[in-house]
Structure 1
Amino acid sequence: MGLTGPPDPGRLEMKETIQHPSTTNPRASAKTRPSNLQPPSYVPAAEVRSLLANSLAARQQRLGAADMISTDEAAQLVQTTRVTINAWIAKGRAIGLTQTKRGFRMPRWQFEPSVWAALPKLSAALGTAEGWALLSFLESPHGGLNGITPRQAIEQGQMDKVIRIAEHEGN
């Protein structure tokens, strides 16, 4: 394989011609790569550590928020057992947020009837039972909902719209 033409100082040099058997013109397809191409940039390790530390701090702050309850408190609230609550978390039926110590923290608002009815559908539509992913989706403003959060939309009776958005995002 060689050059496809004389070098032009205003263009990158063609290093090789790649011919594809499916093309009707054997010279129709060529890939170029500049000889001075640098490898992609990588995020420095210090920046990655900083991002992870900030993420951990944000998660710890959310776990300590006033609307968070333990699995024991959730079981008492809905008159069931902690074992049942843990099974619901595993299935995506309830939002359980992992923490650095044993157990889960749970947003109390998920037990409101409108949100409670939406959770299993939302988990299935997003394709995840992971608590942080579910919470992030529910608490992040969404353009498809005119900037309100999916949780707010559900509370305003727009569960079907939120589920359609979740199905799109889950794919």
Structure 2
Amino acid sequence: MTILLAGGLSMTVTKSKSGRSTKQGSKRGASLTIGLATSGPAPRFTPTSGKISLAPDLMKGIVARKGAAKGVLSGFGRAVLQAERSGKPVRMTVVVEPEAISPRIAVEEMSAPAGNALDTALAAARTRGAARAADILNGEDMLTADAFAEEIGATRETVHKKRRRHEVLGLEGPKRGIRFPKWQVSRSGELLPGLPLLFRSLGDHPWAVYRFLLQEHAELGGGTALEALRRGRVEDVIAVAGSIGAGAFA
């Protein structure tokens, strides 16, 4: 049978032929069972399934200092509870002095590693970006492929072919599928000129083209690229897009 001693120290006890109880060591050495405090009105320690193998000499030292072993396990239990309650990693420091009966134990919260903080910030930024994209695609000026096809007097298949050739701007979101800004069609039903060249300058990214078209540019007299294209200033717009694509951000 297994007996739990002083906060988690366990060893196997057997009966010899003479009837006397003897402590039996295994070839793998003794083991230390870790007890964790459970939260609630009456916290108590319960043994976990995990065990730490101990060398025979170390086992003798721990048996001689049962209070020390119990103190270490108690500190570990406090550390686990603090980590669960705060949701943050904690550091448990054990200082053992030569003549001390019990060790000194300190438990403190650790700051999150820089990598974790960066990952959290990037995840939050992606979430904000997805939410912003969803808001844009929900706008009244965003048309489905069928509605846009009707707007330009073409079929749905023609619209998607034009999108793949970058003759029209189609924006894709996380849930709503592809939407086509209505403002890229003039009152006379003509599409914006120079879109294929604009895509080429901005790396073939539809959202980058969308942002560029609606952004005001000093090189275009403080107006947007969309307004400049409507006035036929295709070369000026492409020149500004080329400078941005080369690394000179507006």
TM-score band, normalised by shorter chain: 0.5 to 0.7
Kindly indicate whether residue 128 of structure 2 is the aligned counterpart of residue 54 of structure 1. Answer: yes
Counterpart residue identity of residue 100, structure 1? P
Cα deviation for residue 169 of structure 1 reads 2.4
SS at 1:117 equivalent: coil
Kindly indicate whether residue 177 of structure 2 is the aligned counterpart of residue 106 of structure 1. Answer: no
Cα deviation for residue 158 of structure 1 reads 2.5
Are the structure 2 counterparts of residues 94 and 153 from structure 1 closer, same or farther at C-alpha, using a change threshold of 3 Å? same
Counterpart residue identity of residue 135, structure 1? Y
Identity of aligned residues (%): 28
SS at 1:163 equivalent: helix
Measured against aligned partners, the alpha-carbon deviations of 1:86-114 in whole angstroms (never above 9, x if no partner) come to: 11111211111012236310100112267
SS at 2:169 equivalent: coil
Alignment of 1:123-142 (within 5 A): 123-128=199-204, 130-142=205-217
CA–CA separation in structure 1 for the residues paired with 2:146 and 2:136? 18
Are the structure 2 counterparts of residues 125 and 47 from structure 1 closer, same or farther at C-alpha, using a change threshold of 3 Å? closer
CA–CA separation in structure 1 for the residues paired with 2:136 and 2:128? 12
Alignment of 1:1-171 (within 5 A): 44-101=118-175, 103-112=177-186, 116-128=192-204, 130-171=205-246
Q: Which ranges of structure 1 fall in alignment gaps of 5 or more residues?
A: 1-40
Are the structure 2 counterparts of residues 74 and 116 from structure 1 closer, same or farther at C-alpha, using a change threshold of 3 Å? same
Q: Which ranges of structure 2 fall in alignment gaps of 5 or more residues?
A: 1-113
TM-score relative to the length of structure 1: 0.66
Measured against aligned partners, the alpha-carbon deviations of 1:122-171 in whole angstroms (never above 9, x if no partner) come to: 2233341x321210111122232243221122234432211111222233
Instruction: Name whichever structure is richer in strand by fraction.
Output: 2
Measured against aligned partners, the alpha-carbon deviations of 1:3-56 in whole angstroms (never above 9, x if no partner) come to: xxxxxxxxxxxxxxxxxxxxxxxxxxxxxxxxxxxxxx6562221111111111
Q: Is the 8 A contact 1:75 1:81 kept in 2?
A: yes
Query: How many pairs are equivalent?
Result: 130
CA–CA separation in structure 2 for the residues paired with 1:122 and 1:131? 10
Based on CA coordinates, which of the two structures has the bigger radius of gyration?
2
Alpha-carbon RMSD across the aligned residues, in angstroms, is 2.2
Instruction: Name whichever structure is richer in helix by fraction.
Output: 1
Are the structure 2 counterparts of residues 54 and 64 from structure 1 closer, same or farther at C-alpha, using a change threshold of 3 Å? same
Bigger relative CO (Cα 8 Å, ≥ 6 apart):
1
TM-score relative to the length of structure 2: 0.47
Q: Is the 8 A contact 2:143 2:180 kept in 1?
A: yes
Counterpart residue identity of residue 108, structure 1? K
CA–CA separation in structure 1 for the residues paired with 2:172 and 2:147? 16
- Stretches of 4+ moved more than 6 A in 1? none
